[in-house]
Amino acid sequence: MEVKVLGAARQVGRSAFLVTHKDSKILLDYGAMTTKVPGFPMHVPPKDIKAIVLSHAHLDHSGAAPLHFLGGTMKLHATPVTSELSNILIQDFIKISGQYLPFEFLDLMAMNSNTVNHGYMEPFQVGDFNISFYDAGHIPGSAVVAVEAGNKRILYTGDINGEETNLLAGSWKNLGEADMVITESTYATADHPHRSKAEGEFVDFAREVVERGGVLLVPAFSVGRAQEIAMTLVKSGFRHPIAMDGMALKVNGILLRYQEYLKDGAALRRMLETIEEVTSWTQRRRLTRKPGVIVSPAGMLVGGASIFYNEHLSMDEKNGIAIVSFQVPGTPGRTLIDKGLTIYRGKPTPVKAEVRRFDFSSHSGKSALLSDLKGIGGSPKFLTVHGEEASCLALADQLHSDLGVEATAAMPGQDFTV
Ligand SMILES: [Zn+2]
């Protein structure tokens, strides 16, 4: 089999790989760079490709996929949760960035009608390839993809989290043997603080803010993080009001239908019974005046209702803002944590609310990632991708020195053979 790296490799964004065996070709992910003007992977002639196989729904893995389906014969293979989540994320992408995208709703509809769903460990055939999904523990429906052809086996981690969270059980540990592993490297150089520490500190901060009469805004991604944050509060016995807004509510509906993809469906249902769902502007205005927690996309304050809440809450020192995910440079969320500035009435203004950061990552830290990768049998060669350049290089070095195998921080356009 041959693997060509089509997207960003020593970088996060627009993940895409072309896998070829004899006359069969498939794409593993075809993501977008979700910068203000989005970026895309290298072009491949769609008539040669049999299918796109998606590791998970995040736009940096799925966002350019609709390009290929209108009028063609290509199929999309994914877990059912990934299909539904990528559909709503791409709809939102078209709404926000439509003028920059080389596709539209019609293309997305063509993709949806050519989608074939598969559960974890339900192997399926595409041309010469035998393909299986294993739980990657990253977001609901996320998969490590195993591709077999001609007696060779490639594992593609997509994004992976080896450790359990409130929402997910962590990645599947028995990935078998492989000849090549394409691995993400997002947090390959550092370990996260212990999850219970991050959870404890976050819940303490939420209590502190609400008990001094303030409102805590938690800008959170709609897929996974918003649910994880609310579930963390509910599990801790938090007695104050928790509200959730925006696309996270749509995601809740999808997760309710696919509870078998979660660690504990009952914990999700308990959370949903506890929170207030926000659907109107009257409700939003009322919530900004009443002590409690508001969980709302967008996670980096770039859009959605979190902008409204930020405008109404950030100029009062009794309120709080909890940043619970990585903030991309250049986003309002990043400016808030780096410079303490927020956009208020159209101008960058020093924030008065208390801003704190908490590590709720959905990617394995260094030790968990190495332990998952070292658990793979067959002395595979490794391609390290999907991380800052330093992370990809460090992970490749570490794998080479610990395991004595070939390990490369792959570059876009490079070809590899197994
Ligand atoms: Zn992801």
| 182, amino acid identity | I
What distance in angstroms lies between residue 29's CA and the mean position of ligand 1's atoms?
Answer: 11
> Which CATH class name applies to 2-190+362-417?
alpha beta
The dihedral through the CA atoms of 183, 187, 190, 196 has a sign that is negative
Q: Can you list the positions of beta strands (E) in 54-150?
A: 75-78, 115-117, 124-126, 129-135, 143-149
What distance in angstroms lies between residue 363's CA and the mean position of ligand 1's atoms?
Answer: 8
What distance in angstroms lies between residue 138's CA and the mean position of ligand 1's atoms?
Answer: 7
What distance in angstroms lies between residue 188's CA and the mean position of ligand 1's atoms?
Answer: 15
What distance in angstroms lies between residue 207's CA and the mean position of ligand 1's atoms?
Answer: 30
Task: Confirm whether 2-190+362-417 and 195-357 share one CATH topology.
Answer: no
What distance in angstroms lies between residue 362's CA and the mean position of ligand 1's atoms?
Answer: 8
CA dihedral 56, 57, 62, 67 (to 10 degrees): 130
Cβ neighbours of residue 200 under 8 Å, at least 6 residues apart?
none
CATH architecture for the domain at 195-357: 3-Layer(aba) Sandwich (3.40)
Q: Which pLDDT belongs to residue 11? A: 80
What distance in angstroms lies between residue 6's CA and the mean position of ligand 1's atoms?
Answer: 17
Closest CA to 162 of 135, 186, 141: 135
Answer whether 147's CB lies under 8 Å from 156's CB: yes
Domain-by-domain residue ranges, the chain?
2-190+362-417, 195-357
> With a threshold of 0.85, does the pTM exceed it?
yes
What distance in angstroms lies between residue 56's CA and the mean position of ligand 1's atoms?
Answer: 7
What distance in angstroms lies between residue 33's CA and the mean position of ligand 1's atoms?
Answer: 12
What distance in angstroms lies between residue 13's CA and the mean position of ligand 1's atoms?
Answer: 9
pLDDT tens track of the chain, all 418 residues? 999 999 978 888 899 999 999 999 999 999 998 877 899 999 998 888 999 999 999 999 999 999 999 888 999 999 999 999 999 999 999 998 989 999 999 999 999 999 999 999 999 999 999 999 999 999 999 999 999 999 999 999 999 999 999 999 999 999 999 999 999 999 999 999 999 999 999 999 999 999 999 999 999 999 999 999 999 999 999 999 999 999 999 999 999 999 999 999 999 999 999 999 999 999 999 999 999 999 999 889 988 899 999 999 999 999 999 999 988 888 899 999 999 999 898 899 999 999 999 999 999 999 999 999 999 999 999 999 999 999 999 999 999 999 999 999 999 999 999 9
Closest CA to 108 of 62, 150, 145: 62
Cβ neighbours of residue 211 under 8 Å, at least 6 residues apart?
240, 291
What distance in angstroms lies between residue 388's CA and the mean position of ligand 1's atoms?
Answer: 15
Answer whether 159's CB lies under 8 Å from 368's CB: no
Cβ neighbours of residue 63 under 8 Å, at least 6 residues apart?
14, 31, 32, 34, 38, 89, 90, 93
What distance in angstroms lies between residue 310's CA and the mean position of ligand 1's atoms?
Answer: 25
What distance in angstroms lies between residue 143's CA and the mean position of ligand 1's atoms?
Answer: 10
What distance in angstroms lies between residue 187's CA and the mean position of ligand 1's atoms?
Answer: 12
What distance in angstroms lies between residue 343's CA and the mean position of ligand 1's atoms?
Answer: 28
Residue carrying the six token digits 């078209």: 94
Q: Which pLDDT belongs to residue 227? A: 98
Q: Which pLDDT belongs to residue 346? A: 86
Supply 19's token pair.
Answer: 């896998």
Q: Whole-angstrom Cα distance, residue 131 to residue 254? A: 25
> Using only C-alpha atoms, what is the Rg of the chain?
21
Closest CA to 296 of 263, 325, 318: 325
What distance in angstroms lies between residue 304's CA and the mean position of ligand 1's atoms?
Answer: 20
